[in-house]
Amino acid sequence: MSIACCLPVVECVYCLACARWACQHCFHTGGYDSETWGLAAQNEFEPVPRLCRLILAVYEDDLEHPQWAPPGGYGIEPRWVVHRRTYEHTHGHAPTYLLYVDHQHSDVVLAVRGMNMAKESDYAVLLDNSLGQRRFDGGYVHNGLLKAAEWLFDAECDVLRDLLERNPGYTLTFAGHSLGSGVVAMLALVAVHNRDRLGGVERKRIRCFAMAPARCMSLNLAVRYADVINAVILQDDFLPRTDTPLEDVFKSLVCLPCLLCGRCLIDTCIPESVMLRDPRRLYAPGRLYHIVERKPFRCGRYPPVVRTAVPVDGRFEHIVLSCNMISDHAIIWIEREAQRGLDLMLENERTMKPPDTQRMDNEITIERDHDQEQKAALRRAIALGVADVNVPSTYGTFSENLTPEADEASPILLDSGRRRTVWDEWIARIFEKDESGKMIPRT
């Protein structure tokens, strides 16, 4: 076409598309992703800095004589460490992890370190995936991360069950960073589905904190498990926004311009609403906490603000081109800014000085608000058609050989009455009423 018209038409159109894509990403700041979210409360965000320090402790060979302790130390008792497993123990099936019983906070914690760039086994876990390769509980997950989580659960479930039986009432917490965040997110799914192997622990006692999480599960799973999994993201962190599969990123390093050009064309030509209906597309897991501590077109760091939500659309879909997109991924910076944010929350709380009864009422209100927010996210997911894994997509990631019955069952094609029925069925599957009539997640 360019030769026939004696003009580089295709090249000009492509250059304009690339310029538009670059402008959108250059002027897009991390704070825009969560500007409509609510503020996080102090009691729900309190574990984050503490767990970040515990993840940092996994990197230490000798906790009695730490070499890289943050200011104030790790805040842990070495005698409460059950054991630490390195790559020699895991044989490359999972990253190095630490099992710790926090008697001060009544918590059994399994912390997993981030990706070790010098270990081929970590690359093998990351690259062991293809789009739609592994299904789990009606959704799709990252195959390599799920295999690592399953191996880790089989290796530690007996120890975890024994610790929970010896410490009744303790919560079971999985915490990880980067690659480890994807492993613990998958581990939370496996633990919820195998609670009988953990002594019948209640679902509400299982929780997960994924720091700088990888995109590891489909949207319906991310929303449905928002009561268990919490993802913490610092401002412009690149990893939760990398919607191109990581295995494709690493495989395409030999031709990175080709990858960027392809990403530009996809972002320009395919609407986000169409991408959302692809049930095999992976997202950051669970409830999201976004730490915002920089403002656009201003230098320096500001007092951090922590926002939280269970979003469906607008779930960190755009890479932020900034000089901090790599440093914001570091666990050291996440711990530092999370602690600053928590200190500000505590200072505001001391200023208000609520009585104990009011503080308990606030905790109940926050829990109720989170339940309502999760239900609203599920309703939004069903309205968009992403809660049904059989919904066909023109995004290009589905087999077109779908039966008419499956197409007719799509929530997108249902009338309002039928859609309400589907929503009620989903609520009945995920929630139940306790003796007082309150809606609680099924155990």
| Domains of the chain from N-terminus onward | 42-352+374-382 (3.40.50.1820)
pLDDT tens-digit profile of 133-150? 899 998 999 999 999 999
pLDDT of residue 329: 95
Give the pLDDT of residue 200.
94
Q: Are strands 134-136 and 107-112 parallel, antiparallel or unpaired?
A: unpaired
| CA pair distance 246, 259, nearest whole angstrom | 12
Segments of the chain scoring below 70 in pLDDT: 1-11, 13-14, 16-29, 243-273, 297-298, 352-364, 384-430, 435, 437-439, 442-443
- pTM for the whole thing? 0.79
Note the pLDDT of residue 318.
75
DSSP for residue 56: H
134-136: strand order across its sheet = 134-136, 139-141, 217-218, 282-283
Contact 61, 54 (CB under 8 A): no
- Confidence (pLDDT) at 397: 37
pLDDT of residue 22: 62
Is 348:45 a contact under the CB 8 Å cutoff? no
